[in-house]
Amino acid sequence: MVFKFTNSQSIYGSVTALVIFLMAGIASSAEGSHFIEPAVAESGLSSSETDAANSEDNALLESLNNKAADLITVGELSRARGKINRALDIAKEIGDDEGKAFAYGNLGNYYTTKGQPDSIIIHLQDPFERLTHTSKWINVGNLIATAHRTKGDYSEAIRLYLELLEEAKEQQNYTLEAGIRQNVAGAYQSLGETSTAIDFYLSALELAEERMDSLVLGVLYDNLGVINMEIENFELAEGYLEKALTISEELGNMRYIIASSINYGILLKETERFEESIEMFLNALNSGEKIGNIITPIQARYNLGAVYNEMGEPGKALQYFQESYDLSIEYGVVIGQFYNYTGMGQTYKHLGDLESSKDYFERSLEIAQSMNNLDLTREVSKELYRVNEMSGDTTSAFLYLQRYAELTDSLSQTEREQALARQEAVLGLRLERENRELAEQALVSQQRTLAITIILLVVIIAALLGVLFLYRNIRKVNGELHVKQDELEKVNKEKDKLLSILAHDLRSPLSDLQSVVYLLQEGALDKDHLDTVLSEADFKLQNGISILGDYLQWALNQKQGLKPEIKPCNLYNFTEEIIRREQSSIESKNIKLTNEIPSDLLAYADENMLRVIIRNLVSNAVKFVEDEGQVKISLRVENDTVTVKVSDDGVGIPNEKRNTIFKSFGESSLGTQGETGTGLGLSICKDFIELMDGEISFGASHEGGTEFKFTLPKADVAELSNV
């Protein structure tokens, strides 16, 4: 199996997993001139003078927006950013929402070219919600949806795309409809849902060809080239990619040229034209670095590594994979990390270093599973089956083979083949239509034949529209059923997981208690042993009760049954209460626990949630310190916010667990005396803190252990009498 790190382009927004696309803000002068007339300011100017000033502002704003769009197209980002900032200032000053939406669209395209999806979401989300009355609202929303898609949040991207698609259809804006349809297709393609992706691609292609929209056609040809390359239909893929590259060069759009070059380079590699492939990737790499795009260097270096792997030069391959991986880490590009792990795994497999190969494939499997990408998970499982089989680990090989088979069934290979067959049929119909049009031009003088042809076309189109209408309704119903089924499966899995963990975690303390009762009944314990056994049983029961409390709080929160009842709470009293409950654990380790919270300080919080939060943080601190260790509870007040800190000098948090520490059912580590946990406590703390409008974080403490801190609104001391 060969992993193809391709560029799947998007229309009117940012890229998918890694790339470049058409700009939402590009418009002709006519489109850029739809502005709201600003109100006349109260000043000493006459009415005619004010109108002239506003007219000059409108003209300047339109000029700035159009120039910014042109500069982004040719990759001159520094100059473009200056004009965007100035356009936004003018639009806000004169109250021109239409010009403001245009400028925000340019800003989104600026961050798209830079490869910064987080910045798109941060800067465009608020304007998107406030500018729904403007003509550029859909364009701005499309940029946000594509940013989610770039980050791997495909469900949110598809949700927003479909919302915008309905709006485009209602406005009868067929160009936008075609562009958004292709974006939806790209999102489904990233999820491995080839059948749905092809359906959306073909419907977008039909709309674009009807209107001869070269902007949309260029991107569609590129993406159809990618999808045909993935099924090894290389001849058809090359035809599409050549058309895409030609259109990109005619448009003079550097981002399109880079995207098509990357994909063409992959095709050249797949057809063993290695030298041409290397040249294509190096050109794309240089162009991407020139315009300041952070994604292209990651992608180009990975694909260079893949080419050298195919050429039997593992040293160069590993060098490029490592460079691409380092950039993926630096810029937080998760899909880049995945592909470079698989590349290194392939290289070490070819070198015969099966342990290293297995290690890299296992890392890539973790990423694929975290992205919920069944297609990538399936293919990595297949590679792990092969590597384990080669190393003689038949047990592991069988498990991965079983996983691969299950995923192959779930991805419905039959459905994919049917979708590809539909593509072949549509392409055949398109060829037939082109030939018919040529014949009609040759027989234009024969009026009777022309009239009959028109009537036949009308009948066919009406029939196709009827079929399309029925097909869309069926797909909509199937989509809703699919969503409901997924929700039900998720609920059942969470239920089964909860019951399984409860049975496991509560069996031990109950079994210990049963043993103590039996020894007491038999009179097998003297006074000294009795105190020791009862103390240990009490410690384990307290731990079991704490575990059960975590599960119950988590279950209630998942049912959305918890609503905070906010009131002033005395933080010192709550902390002392938790310390008393943890006293047996504290004494068993001879821990020095210091409570530095002032006795009269209040904060707004829900009492029960506050108890759960403090109990979990103190319990965790006690759990992970050695005997005679130190735990400190302190507090800082800033303006109207209090920050509670729980720090220790314990063993700290391993780096590999820092990204998942607040997730439900994470892997729980044993304490310094073998104390167990649920993997739920910190997840519950985070949920409760956020329900009370606070924040929680962690880091290294000054004593060398861990420091957790959370914030709450400060209450007035005068409220103390009500506590």
Residue type present at position 1? M
Question: For residue 144, is pLDDT > 90?
Answer: yes
Question: Residue 669: what pLDDT?
Answer: 65
Q: How is 626-657 classified by DSSP, letter by letter?
A: PTT-EEEEEEEEETTEEEEEEEE-S----GGG
- The string of pLDDT tens digits covering residues 85-99 is 999 999 899 999 999
- Closest alpha carbon to 343 in 308, 388, 389, 382: 308
pTM, entire model: 0.45
Tell me how far apart the alpha carbons of residues 337 and 109 are, in angstroms, rounded to a whole number: 25
Using the structure block, give the residue that is written with the tokens 């130190």.
630
Tell me how far apart the alpha carbons of residues 708 and 173 are, in angstroms, rounded to a whole number: 52
Strand, coil or helix: what is 550?
helix
Number of C-beta neighbours around residue 276 at 10 A? 14
Question: For residue 474, is pLDDT > 90?
Answer: no
Tell me how far apart the alpha carbons of residues 143 and 509 are, in angstroms, rounded to a whole number: 54
- Closest alpha carbon to 305 in 63, 13, 3: 3
Contacting residues for 526 by C-beta, under 8 A, at least 6 apart: none
Work out the pLDDT band at 18, boundaries 50, 70, 90. very low
Percentage, residues of the chain above pLDDT 70: 75
- Closest alpha carbon to 31 in 134, 120, 108: 134
Question: Residue 27: what pLDDT?
Answer: 25
Work out the pLDDT band at 388, boundaries 50, 70, 90. very high
Contacting residues for 126 by C-beta, under 8 A, at least 6 apart: none
Tell me how far apart the alpha carbons of residues 315 and 327 are, in angstroms, rounded to a whole number: 19
Query: 399 burial class (0-12, 13-18, 19+ CB within 10 angstroms)?
Result: middle
* 177 within 8 A of 165, measured Cβ to Cβ: yes
Residue type present at position 74? V
Question: Residue 723: what pLDDT?
Answer: 46
- Closest alpha carbon to 635 in 597, 594, 604, 595: 597
Work out the pLDDT band at 13, boundaries 50, 70, 90. very low
- The string of pLDDT tens digits covering residues 330-351 is 888 888 899 999 999 999 999 9
Question: Residue 672: what pLDDT?
Answer: 62
Among 40-54, 133-147, 165-179, 469-483, the range scoring the smallest mean pLDDT is 40-54
Q: How is 375-443 classified by DSSP, letter by letter?
A: HHHHHHHHHHHHHHHHHT-HHHHHHHHHHHHHHHHHTTHHHHHHHHHHHHHHHHHHHHHHHHHHHHHHT
- The string of pLDDT tens digits covering residues 536-585 is 666 666 666 666 665 665 565 555 556 788 999 999 998 998 888 888 77
Among 30-44, 385-399, 695-709, the range scoring the smallest mean pLDDT is 30-44
Among 27-31, 44-48, 346-350, 679-683, the range scoring the smallest mean pLDDT is 27-31
- Domains parsed from the chain with CATH numbers: 1-24+151-270 (1.25.40.10), 26-135 (1.25.40), 567-722 (3.30.565.10)
HSE (side-chain half, CA atoms, 13 Å) at 176: 26
For CA atoms 672, 676, 679, 680, give the dihedral sign: negative
Contacting residues for 64 by C-beta, under 8 A, at least 6 apart: 83, 84, 86, 87, 90, 103
Tell me how far apart the alpha carbons of residues 468 and 528 are, in angstroms, rounded to a whole number: 83
Question: Residue 628: what pLDDT?
Answer: 87
Higher pLDDT, 438 or 589: 589
Mean pLDDT score across all residues of the chain: 78
Residue 137 has phi, psi (to 5 degrees) of: -60, -45
- The string of pLDDT tens digits covering residues 602-629 is 999 998 889 889 988 998 888 889 888 8
- Closest alpha carbon to 591 in 531, 671, 532, 528: 671
Tell me how far apart the alpha carbons of residues 642 and 631 are, in angstroms, rounded to a whole number: 20
- The string of pLDDT tens digits covering residues 423-434 is 554 555 455 555
Work out the pLDDT band at 535, boundaries 50, 70, 90. low
Strand, coil or helix: what is 567?
strand
- The string of pLDDT tens digits covering residues 267-288 is 999 999 999 999 999 998 888 8
Query: 313 burial class (0-12, 13-18, 19+ CB within 10 angstroms)?
Result: middle
* Chain mean position to CA 260: 24
Number of C-beta neighbours around residue 592 at 10 A? 13
Question: Residue 517: what pLDDT?
Answer: 73
Question: Residue 1: what pLDDT?
Answer: 43
Tell me how far apart the alpha carbons of residues 360 and 350 are, in angstroms, rounded to a whole number: 13
Tell me how far apart the alpha carbons of residues 5 and 340 are, in angstroms, rounded to a whole number: 9
Work out the pLDDT band at 244, boundaries 50, 70, 90. confident
Torsion angle of C-alpha atoms 561, 565, 571, 574, degrees rounded to 10: -50
Percentage, residues of the chain above pLDDT 90: 25
- Closest alpha carbon to 80 in 111, 58, 57: 111
